[in-house]
């Protein structure tokens, strides 16, 4: 189904699993890394619609994007639906997706080929958005840029962070972290009319 994603962060000051549980209680879910990359691409396109099918003004889309990406204060962060594990020589990603019956279920998949080293200062934002794999991760040969990237590590989770020092795609986040500026963009499946 089509996915609706909130214009702003909510469920702030929660640890990763607490945020997952709070969303589930509301009948919503956390965006995956892939959905988040698609969301950023949609905002950048200037051509997006709300849940009622009405066009959202480009100025509002720019404002939403301005709350996410720019390197500036205040510190902003949001959880993404991806947790990582290492089993033997293989890395895995867990996230939620809709099954053939239209129900949201957690899946675990081997990590697809992706960049498996930290990049500081980073990778190119546009290159990541245009070339992310199906799981939303940057390709191994990601171009250099200013978006810091922390590659997936065992027992860690994903998020996106921006503040005065840098912007990060963080796949090495602590699931026990919490902060008043750390939230999530609630997602919901668009109901057919």
pLDDT tens digits, 105-142: 999 999 999 999 999 999 999 999 999 999 999 999 99
Q: Between 103 and 158, whose confidence is greater?
A: 158
Q: What pLDDT was estimated at residue 190?
A: 85
pLDDT digits 0-9 by tens, 44-85: 999 999 999 999 999 999 999 999 999 999 999 999 999 999
What gap in Å lies between CA 88 and CA 64, rounded to an integer? 41
Q: What pLDDT sits at residue 102?
A: 87
Tokens coding 98: 């809709």
DSSP letter at 72 equals -
Q: What's the pLDDT at 134?
A: 98
Above pLDDT 70, what percent of the chain? 98
**Residue 113 structure tokens:** 């080929």
Write the burial class of residue 184 (CB in 10 Å: 0-12 exposed, 13-18 middle, 19+ buried): buried
Decide: 8 and 190 in contact? Cβ < 8 Å.
no
* pLDDT recorded at residue 2: 86
Average pLDDT over all residues of the chain? 96
Q: Which two tokens stand for residue 34?
A: 């892939």
Q: How far is it, in rounded angstroms, from Cα 146 to Cα 33? A: 19
**3-class secondary-structure state, position 27:** coil
Question: How far are the Cα atoms of 83, 119, 166 from residue 141, in angstroms, in the given order?
Answer: 23, 11, 21
Please give the DSSP secondary-structure letter assigned to residue 47. Answer: -
Please determine, for residue 192, whether its predicted confidence score (pLDDT) is greater than 80.
no
Name the pTM for this structure.
Answer: 0.96
Read off the DSSP letter of residue 146: S
Domain positions in the chain: 3-189
Residue 169 structure tokens: 């795609």
Phi, psi for residue 191 in degrees, rounded to 5: -80, 140
pLDDT of residue 193: 62
Query: What pLDDT is attached to residue 109?
Result: 98
The reported pLDDT for the residue numbered 1 is: 67
Predicted local confidence at residue 90, as pLDDT: 97
pLDDT digits (tens, 9 = 90+) for 18-31: 999 999 999 999 99
């Amino acid at each position: 189904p089509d996915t609706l994603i909130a214009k702003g962060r909510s469920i702030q000051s929660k640890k990763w699993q607490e945020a997952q549980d709070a969303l589930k209680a509301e009948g919503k879910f956390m965006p995956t890394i892939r959905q988040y990359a698609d969301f950023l691409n949609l905002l950048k396109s200037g051509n997006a619609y709300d849940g009622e099918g009405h066009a959202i003004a480009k100025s509002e889309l720019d404002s939403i994007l301005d709350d996410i990406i720019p390197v500036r204060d205040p510190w902003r962060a949001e959880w993404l639906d991806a947790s990582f594990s290492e089993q033997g020589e293989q890395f895995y990603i867990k996230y939620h997706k809709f099954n053939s019956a239209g129900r949201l279920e957690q899946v675990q998949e081997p990590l697809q080929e992706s960049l498996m080293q930290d990049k500081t200062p980073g990778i190119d934002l546009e290159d990541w958005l245009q070339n992310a794999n199906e799981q939303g991760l940057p390709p191994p040969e990601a171009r250099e840029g200013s978006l810091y990237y922390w590659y997936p590590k065992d027992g860690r989770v994903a998020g996106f962070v921006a503040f005065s020092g840098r912007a990060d795609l963080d796949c090495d986040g602590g699931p026990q972290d919490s902060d008043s500026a750390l939230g999530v963009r609630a997602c919901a499946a668009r109901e057919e009319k």
